[in-house]
Amino acid sequence: MKKQLLFYYFICLSVLVSAQNWSPLYLGDRYNYQLDSENYISNTIWVDSLKVNNTDSVFYLNRIVKNCFDCNLSDPDEFIIANQEQFMQKRVIRDSNEIYHYIGTTSFTIDSRASLDQSWLYDTLQNIDATVVAVGEEEIFGLLDSVKTISLSNQHIIKLSKSFGLIDFQNEEGIYQLKGIENRALGESIPDFFDFYNFEVGDVFQYQFENWGLLSIMHSFYKNEILSKQELSDSYIYEIRRVRRDSFDIMFEPNQVNFSETEFTMTLYNTISRPTNQYNRSLIPEFYTEDFICNDYPVFQYMDVFLDATDNRVTKKLGPMPGNLEFFETVKPYKFLGNSDTLRKDFCASLYSHIYKEGLGAVYNVSEILDNRVGLRLIGYVKNGDTTGTIIPDELLLLSNSELERNTKLNISPNPSSGIYEISYEASRPLSFEVFDINGRLLWRRENPASDSFLEIDIEKHPPGIYLLKVSDGNALKTMKLIKY
């Protein structure tokens, strides 16, 4: 991540000078906390506005989105609630005695100037007391600092650092531990645009792209190789070599295949609105819907930030994770209900799903508007000479007769039929068979080993029409029409 070191130096200096007051939080700091039950940073907290009221200072903290489990128990993802507090609540009032009052769904008080063995009333409603039980020094972010340990009468523990604020905070959810302060370049930072799109010369990215229309479908496989890289203060500039294979399946017409090999310049600009710059559970406005069914209104998704255990990469995704990344699935965005903070999935709006991975950029983007669905999926990549997933050789992308066409003999009968199709084939590799309707919805799927030579497809329960059979051997793709009367 890019660091403006000189700016951070002055911020650090001013914060450390003011830190003599043992403040739990400082204006301008952006804190990353991890709940002990999570495997990555779960909460990013900062003061987004400040108000002075006589001798009191009121710090308003950033808000997040939460699921509304009480709204619909059968589908907890149908509703979300915006403008919700995190464990530090919605606002913090600092009075003239340097006592901090946390106000929100629950309320509690921290006396930042309390000395060893001094006690105070921490939570009035639950009658919980707080006592400073230890004062000593600990190493935090590689720096030695004074730390107060506060014990609550409900057995919870809080730790307050003189220079870094709350470093441990325990409540009913668990223990929140401070993992980093982003603006001071201390500890762990949430990856941003420059981390997600930081590619190196020699990196290769293999994508699968599909565009489903009412009467046609386009399958594409294209591969990007990074030839050169230029890093500017607000962007990356890459020279890219692309090898691409497009297959067009138009109803009642023969399949068409196009091939290309090009070199081009791609500039990726860093902007505040980029999804890769957002934080966990932040509410993100999506596209506007405008069609003959829906009126114009904004719809939203929320950002999830997590460490993906499958590849150990920080991942950011908008909306719930699709059930299977092997297929192009979409999720509905949310719309506010009136003037409330509650949002509900909008079944009239278009569909979107976006997933980004650190060092790989966009790995899964799909959108659906009316009868058109567009999807992009990263299926393989090469970084530091190591290959992950599927990389299709240039000769297969550029040859008109693919390996699948050369090595596979396939016959369908009867076609048209009432919905039962018998497929006989000879193949040198295992094959996957998928049946889609003309809107791109997956209806049926099966994988057969190369030793098999017969397959039966049953779509009798579906209405008459045109269906698409997609056959793949992992590298190449063949699409055929199934006609049901």
**What pLDDT score does 424 carry?**
87
Mean model confidence pLDDT for the chain: 86
pLDDT at 182 over 50: yes
Q: What are phi and psi of 443, to 5 degrees?
A: -110, -30
C-alpha R_g of the chain = 28
119-to-89, 154, 158 alpha-carbon distances in Å: 22, 14, 13
Q: Please state the rounded mean pLDDT for residues 409-428.
A: 85
Quote the strand ranges of 85-173, DSSP E.
91-94, 99-103, 108-111, 119-123, 128-140, 143-152, 157-161, 165-171
pLDDT at 170: 98
Q: How many CB atoms lie within 10 A of CB 10?
A: 9
- Rounded to 5 degrees, what angle do the CA atoms 29, 269, 318 make? 65
Q: What SS3 state is found at 182?
A: helix
This prediction's pTM: 0.79
3-state SS, 325-356, equals: CCCCCCECCEEECCCCCEEEECCCCCEEEEEE
pLDDT at 160 over 90: yes
| Amino acid letter, 432 | S
> Does residue 133 sit in helix, strand or coil?
strand
pLDDT of residue 62: 97
- What gap in Å lies between CA 282 and CA 287, rounded to an integer? 16
Cα separation, 27 vs 43, in Å, equals 17
Respond yes or no on whether the N-terminal peptide bond of residue 416 is cis (omega within 30° of 0).
yes
Q: Is the dihedral of CA 394, 396, 397, 399 positive or negative?
A: positive
3-class DSSP state of 59: strand
pLDDT confidence of residue 155: 97
Identify residue 146 by its one-letter amino acid code.
Answer: S
CA distance 205 to 474: 16
Round to the nearest angstrom and report the end-to-end CA distance of the chain.
Answer: 58
| Cα(283)–Cα(454) distance, integer angstroms | 50
Query: Would you call 90 exposed, middle or buried from its count of C-beta atoms within 10 A (0-12, 13-18, 19+)?
Result: middle
Mean pLDDT of 120-148: 97
Q: Which amino acid is at 442?
A: L
Q: Tell me the pLDDT band of 124, cut-offs 50, 70 and 90.
A: very high
Q: What secondary structure does DSSP assign to 258-281, as a single string?
A: EEEEEEEEEEEE--TT-GGG--TT
Q: Can you say how many angstroms the Cα of residue 71 is from the centroid of all Cα atoms in its chain? A: 24
- At 295-330, the pLDDT tens digits run 556 888 899 999 999 999 999 998 656 555 555 666
Neighbours of 420 (CB within 10 A): 12
Number of residues that make up the chain: 485
Domains assigned to the chain: 5-187 (no CATH), 190-397 (no CATH), 403-484 (2.60.40.3080)
Q: Is residue 100 a contact partner of residue 110, using CB atoms and an 8 Å limit?
A: yes
Instruction: Report the half-sphere exposure of 215 (CA within 13 A, side-chain side).
Output: 4
Amino acid 268: pLDDT:
97
Q: How many CB atoms are located within 10 Å of the residue 144 CB?
A: 10
Contacts for 395 with CB less than 8 Å, ≥ 6 apart: none
Dump pLDDT digits (tens) for 183-218. Answer: 999 999 999 999 999 999 999 999 989 888 777 778
Nearest to 315 by CA among 74, 39, 90: 39
Quote the tokens at residue 208. 């699968």
The token pair at 479 is: 């699409």
- Tell me which residue of 235, 239, 215 sits closest to 225, measured CA to CA: 239
